[in-house]
Amino acid sequence: MGLLDGLRAALGLRAEADAKRDADPEDLFGMSTAYLTMEADLGYASTDVGALCFSGVDSHSFREAVDEVESILEAGREETGTEFDVTEDDHGYHWVILEDDDSEDLITSMHFAADTFIEHGYGSRLLAAVFGYENRDGPAYWIYSFRRGAYYPFAPRSGRERDSSAEFRLESTLEDELEVEPDKEYWYPLWPSKRGTHPWE
């Protein structure tokens, strides 16, 4: 199974078949307190970047949904200061990348983007929301699976290795604040296309 198939299985088709419920962007607000716990209890600083991963559809109505997402984020940029970009990675997945040093504004902007897809009937195309952190040991991410309605940690290291001890520490520390995915089969790694970069690059 290749990377593309693995992502589709873990966060897309198989997750949709095993979905607990419909995608609910309200779950993203769980990160509001998680940011504080990550820094205070674990020494992780936010990278001030979050991203939505979604699979595209070759249709005019879907393009209109993406255009509206961009319009909403553009309109909110002046008020919140949240910068954004919409890109496609080497695997054919699309990303809405958001950057803001105010975590509340970052989460709110991500919520608006996700909610817009859902309002247009494309909630099933939302795969994941990704929140980035880092400490002296390296990067770590909290990944939210829309189809599973749960978060899981991802701590990538060089050579496409995962720091399992860091991931379990993140799980145990945040399990009272976030709905953590209990089935580790769904803790799918979102490896970046280029070494040393983020999952959305």
Q: What digits encode the pLDDT tens for the residues 59-87? A: 899 999 999 999 999 998 888 899 999 98
CB 163 within 8 A of CB 89: no
Q: Which residue has the higher pLDDT, 135 or 13?
A: 135
Q: What digits encode the pLDDT tens for the residues 30-52? A: 999 999 999 999 999 999 999 99
**55, pLDDT greater than 90:** no
Q: List the one residue out of 197, 196, 195, 193 whose CA is nearest residue 88.
A: 193
The model carries a pTM of 0.88
Looking at CATH, the fold of the domain delimited by 3-186 is given as: Alpha-Beta Plaits (3.30.70)
- Mean pLDDT over all residues of the chain? 87
In 16-162, the DSSP E strands lie at: 45-54, 83-88, 94-99, 126-135, 138-145, 150-154, 156-157, 161-162
Amino acid 91: pLDDT: 74
Amino acid 191: pLDDT: 84
**3, pLDDT greater than 50:** no
CB 149 within 8 A of CB 21: yes
Could you tell me the pLDDT band of residue 198, with boundaries at 50, 70 and 90?
confident
Q: What digits encode the pLDDT tens for the residues 4-27? A: 445 555 565 554 555 555 668 899
Query: Mean per-residue pLDDT for 187-196?
Result: 76
For the chain, the domains span 3-186
Contacts of 106 (CB under 8 A, 6+ apart): 48, 49, 50, 82, 98, 99, 100
